[in-house]
Structure 1
Amino acid sequence: MRLPLSPLASTVMLATALAALLALHATRPARAADTPPAAAATKPALTVTVTQPQTAALPLEVAANGSLHAWQEAIVGAESNGMRLAEVRVNVGDSVRRGQVLASFGAEMARAELAQVQAAVAEAEAAAAEAAANAQRARDLQGSGAYSAQQVTQYLTAERTAQARVQAQRAALQVATLRLAQTQVLAPDHGVISARSATVGAVVPAGQELFRLIRQGRLEWRAEVPAADIGALKAGQAARVTPAGGSPVAGRVRMVAPTVDATTRNGLVYVDLPAAAGLKAGMFARGEFDLGSGSGLTLPQSAVLLRDGFSHVFTVEPDNKVRQRKVAVGRRVGDRIELLGGLPANARVVASGGAFLVDGDTVRVVAAPQ
């Protein structure tokens, strides 16, 4: 027969059993389910190479737009009045030489007038010879009393009048000769015909335009340069001109306009161009003026992104997270672009692939391939 346990003994036995259970549990191997999960590592968004801004020599240039024009354009017109155009020998685009016949007027009337004046000159010269003989005779007999003083004066006056008539007729002969020469329209200079309004059979007044001529075939680029840059340009500087759809052509500044347009705030710079195939007056062209060279920080163009109208780069922070930075850029030379501000010189910049990144992404940095 068991005796009932006292409350104190029951408490002691319960504590002993609990301690044994705890000791048994401590000796068991820990199960995988009992261990806390390890923190998962952050997965890189992209594998990238980095670069740093580098100092490079950059050309100093001023960019501008403008049009091609004739260096000088000569207007060839009719010099005589009321003559009929009988022949036109050239057309638009033809190259001509100084003195070449471009067109001819009917010369029949001019030749008849010339013959008439030549006859008048011969008549005046004959009359002058007779008057001179009479005057000489009067001089010889002046003291003999054969001629009165009034008669001597009349002979001397007739001599001078005949001589004046000869001079007048000779002047008329020069006019008639010139009128005959003007029946041929001659090129005033070497060049290219740029316009023609001459029509065979037309009777044109004096001064009417018949042709336009680009003198010496020379063209020039009239560049519109902002007022802030025009002060750096002067005659003799080199320029590179690229016409629309064409190849670059080397030119040289001939003159800088002394005024600036009050509306556009642009000034004209006149650039002489060499004779080159494909250049036509009226074409649009862009170009750059060479001002020398200078140094500046540059990055590969692949490292610079255009977002929301601004240039950005991604820099890699020490924890391999990227940060988007807005930067100011300038000139582009080859595959590099000038960095004007917004980035320290020792920054590590994502060289390419930035278009696939967002601010705060983690990346894995690898060495650039050699």
Structure 2
Amino acid sequence: MINPRTVSASRSRLAFIGIVLTVLLGACSKPVPKAEDIRPVRVLKLAAGQVTAVAEFPGEVRPRIESRLGFRVGGKIVARKVDVGASVRRGQVLMQLDPQDLQLAQTQAQAALKAAESNQQLARAELLRYQELRDKNFVSQAVLDSKSTTYQAARASFEQAQAAFRNQSNQAGYASLVADADGVVTAIEAEVGQVVAAGNPVLRLAQLGEKEIVIGIPEDKVDALRRVTDVQVRVWAKPDEVFAGKIREVAPMADPATRTFTARISLAGPSADIKLGMTAYVSFAAASPHPMLKVPLTAVFQNKSESAVWVVENNAVKLVPVRLAGPAGNDVLIAAGLAPGQTVVTAGVNFLRAGQKVRILDEQSQAGSSAVAATSGKATEAAK
């Protein structure tokens, strides 16, 4: 008969021996070497070239002249003849005031003119009669001088009444607000029933003719853009059509809200299809004074508080801080930190670390492409 205690002890010894053998075998085996992490990247070989810097700003098509019209006399508006967006012709009636008081004043001035005319005629007849009596020596010269003075006063009163009547007639005519030029109504600032004072703007009229683009220029670009002569204008509705422009005016002070300087760009022979209020884009083009380096935007990333790129050397990458000179479309210009001939990583920059081995998928070279850079390397700065 087998003793249970003997069987249990045998099992325990066998389990202990198994554990010892496992530990010994594990200690004798070598660790599997970890495969080196090699990242595939795309790169670009740098070459300096001439760059046409282009600064582009959005703007709005506005008229060269936009007038805020108002009545030359005060009164109550009784009629409005046009709406916003209406095209009007020179001399067309836009609004009317209640003419009753002005007509009464005109009637009063007309009555005063008739009275002055009668007094003048009477004084003239008196003067002629006394001149005949003086010729016959029936009256003294003093009496004749008195009649002459009376006539001169009556004549002056008549001329005064004439002027007052003409003035009051003009005032009555001012009850109708008419367009002083062909144009388009851009705003209505008063409505029927409103009492307005003389000179208060009631309507805005944009004159047809020369149009211009109004843009806002950042304060650090004003002086540089003043000297640019190659100015081109495109409208959002017709992106393929380009118009030549010219800086006509730059505001002497910055806008208090946007802190930009308002600039007006005149158009040389604009198309009739360009409507007021359209969105436009103004581009200022100027060649860089010396060759510059540029890299794709995807190659630059922020390392703490500075911009940096990955440079490939001996199939490994190192972090190089750079100073940027400005955007260039989908590229960015490099002011300092890189040199021609260096190879820069353009894709996969966020997954790299210093010293990491990389595998180049393809390599784009800019060497000997200065002519291409001059045409396609345009630095576009979009001012929002």
For normalisation by structure 1, the TM-score amounts to 0.70
3-state DSSP of counterpart to 2:327: strand
1:297 corresponds to: 293
- The answer to whether structure 1 residue 339 and structure 2 residue 337 are counterparts is no
Among 140, 144, 160, the alignment partner of 1:148 is: 140
- The answer to whether structure 1 residue 86 and structure 2 residue 81 are counterparts is no
CA 1:266/1:231 → structure 2, altered by over 3 Å: closer, same or farther?
farther
Task: Summarize the alignment of residues 93-172 of structure 1 with structure 2, pairs less than 5 Å apart.
Answer: 93-172=85-164
Cα deviations by residue, 1:74-105 (Å, 9 ceiling, x for unpaired): 33223223x33221112334344443321012
Query: Structure 1: which amino acid aligns with 2:348?
Result: G
Per-residue deviation, 1:180: 1.4
Cα distance in 2 for residues equivalent to 1:311 and 1:155: 100
Cα deviations by residue, 1:2-54 (Å, 9 ceiling, x for unpaired): xxxxxxxxxxxxxxxxxxxxxxxxxxxxxxxxxxx9x9796561344543112
Query: Structure 2: which amino acid aligns with 1:279?
Result: G
**Would you say the 8 A contact 1:85–1:204 is kept in 2?**
yes
Query: Structure 1: which amino acid aligns with 2:71?
Result: A
**Would you say the 8 A contact 1:255–1:271 is kept in 2?**
yes
Query: Structure 1: which amino acid aligns with 2:38?
Result: A
Among 324, 343, 351, the alignment partner of 1:356 is: 351
3-state DSSP of counterpart to 1:80: coil
2:265 corresponds to: 272
Query: Structure 1: which amino acid aligns with 2:185?
Result: I
Query: Structure 1: which amino acid aligns with 2:249?
Result: M
CA 1:238/1:174 → structure 2, altered by over 3 Å: closer, same or farther?
farther
**Would you say the 8 A contact 1:243–1:279 is kept in 2?**
no
Q: CA RMSD in A?
A: 4.2
Paired residues, number: 326
2:319 corresponds to: 324
Q: Which runs of 5+ in 1 are unaligned?
A: 1-36
For normalisation by structure 2, the TM-score amounts to 0.67
CA 1:80/1:299 → structure 2, altered by over 3 Å: closer, same or farther?
closer
Per-residue deviation, 1:144: 1.8
- The answer to whether structure 1 residue 315 and structure 2 residue 311 are counterparts is yes
Among 204, 229, 247, the alignment partner of 2:196 is: 204
Structure number, greater radius of gyration: 1
Task: Summarize the alignment of residues 201-280 of structure 1 with structure 2, pairs less than 5 Å apart.
Answer: 201-214=193-206, 220-226=213-219, 228-234=220-226, 237=229, 239=231, 251-258=245-252, 268-272=261-265, 276-277=274-275, 279=277
CA 1:222/1:353 → structure 2, altered by over 3 Å: closer, same or farther?
closer
Cα distance in 2 for residues equivalent to 1:93 and 1:366: 59
**Would you say the 8 A contact 2:71–2:177 is kept in 1?**
yes
Cα deviations by residue, 1:218-259 (Å, 9 ceiling, x for unpaired): 565352422x44332327745567999997986532233445
Per-residue deviation, 1:366: 5.3
CA 1:361/1:204 → structure 2, altered by over 3 Å: closer, same or farther?
closer
CA 1:209/1:245 → structure 2, altered by over 3 Å: closer, same or farther?
same
Cα deviations by residue, 1:112-160 (Å, 9 ceiling, x for unpaired): 4434433443443344234223323322432322223343123212221
Q: Which has the higher contact order (CA 8 A, sep 6+)?
A: 2
Cα deviations by residue, 1:176-196 (Å, 9 ceiling, x for unpaired): 211111110123445443442
Per-residue deviation, 1:61: 4.5
3-state DSSP of counterpart to 2:83: coil
- The answer to whether structure 1 residue 58 and structure 2 residue 51 are counterparts is yes
3-state DSSP of counterpart to 1:57: coil
3-state DSSP of counterpart to 1:141: helix
Cα distance in 1 for residues equivalent to 2:215 and 2:153: 61
Cα distance in 2 for residues equivalent to 1:109 and 1:265: 47
3-state DSSP of counterpart to 2:191: coil
Query: Structure 2: which amino acid aligns with 1:337?
Result: V
Per-residue deviation, 1:169: 1.4
Aligned residues: percent identity?
A: 25
Per-residue deviation, 1:72: 5.9
**Would you say the 8 A contact 1:220–1:273 is kept in 2?**
yes
Per-residue deviation, 1:109: 4.0
3-state DSSP of counterpart to 2:167: helix
Q: Which runs of 5+ in 2 are unaligned?
A: 1-29, 366-384
**Would you say the 8 A contact 1:59–1:293 is kept in 2?**
yes
